[in-house]
Chains A and B, each alone.
Chain A
Amino acid sequence: MSEIQWHDRLQPAKDEAERTRKPVLLDFWTPG
């Protein structure tokens, strides 16, 4: 894996979390 695979929406991240029982990491960032 060469980089972190980020979702760009909440629901797909929640779906992955529910399927895998992993916690969700949400990063709110600003450019620059």
Chain B
Amino acid sequence: MGTVTYPHAEVIEFVTKHFAAAKFNVKEPVPDFKEAVGRGKVIWAPLFIFLDYRGAELRRYLGYLPHDHFLAELRLVLGLAAMTHMKYQEALEWFLSAVEKSPDSSAAPEALFWAGAADYRIGGAQPMIARWDDLIARYPGSTWATRADIIPPELRER
């Protein structure tokens, strides 16, 4: 991450604009290391943990990502932060931007799933169903398509 992803100009600009960032060397833990890790453990690195501005955990994931995949993760996290604070329209925009700007990223199908959740909060079941149908069509092999494929026929508009 330190040699390829973090030096990328778009990553620098995005992280600087949207996040408060801290780095911890797992081999040299500082006094608040355990508090930073929370209730889990660092069993592999790099490990990324995201908190909202009040300290509530939003997400954690593992492993190196190239810059476009990492940016998709960051947009997904910003959407989750907005969802946490009931800013559903803002959340929807972040989720959709993760998909549209990095459609081949590992975060894209998950972001589309969450876009459906934001749609539900904004407009109810039908917009969510439409979004999840799009997810199933665009990412049919993903675990997020599997999770979205739960709509009973009686919930669909005739």
Binding site for B on A (CB under 8 A): 1-14, 16-18, 20-31
Is B19 within 8 A of A23, CB to CB? Answer: yes
Is B12 within 8 A of A29, CB to CB? Answer: no
Is A10 within 8 A of B21, CB to CB? Answer: no
Residues facing A in B6-54 (CB within 8 A) are: 6-7, 11-13, 15-16, 18-27, 30-33, 35-37, 42, 45-54
Q: Which of the listed residues B26, B42, B53 has the most CB atoms from chain A within 10 Å of its own CB? A: B53
Bound complex: CA of A4 vs CA of B67, how far in Å?
14
In the complex, what residues of B have CB within 8 A of residue A12's CB?
Answer: 22
The smallest C-beta distance from A28 to any residue of chain B, in angstroms, reads: 4
In the complex, what residues of A have CB within 8 A of residue B148's CB?
Answer: none
- Given the contacts A26-B48, A26-B51, A27-B24, A11 and B19 also touching, CB distance less than 8 Å: no
The smallest C-beta distance from B62 to any residue of chain A, in angstroms, reads: 10
In the complex, what residues of A have CB within 8 A of residue B37's CB?
Answer: 28
Is B23 within 8 A of A23, CB to CB? Answer: no
Is B55 within 8 A of A4, CB to CB? Answer: no
Question: Is residue B136 contacting chain A, with contact meaning CB distance below 8 A?
Answer: no
Is B21 within 8 A of A28, CB to CB? Answer: no
Is A1 within 8 A of B23, CB to CB? Answer: no
A17: contacting residue among B24, B35, B48, B51, CB under 8 A? B51
In the complex, what residues of A have CB within 8 A of residue B31's CB?
Answer: 9
Is B45 within 8 A of A6, CB to CB? Answer: no
The smallest C-beta distance from A3 to any residue of chain B, in angstroms, reads: 6
In the complex, what residues of A have CB within 8 A of residue B45's CB?
Answer: 28-30
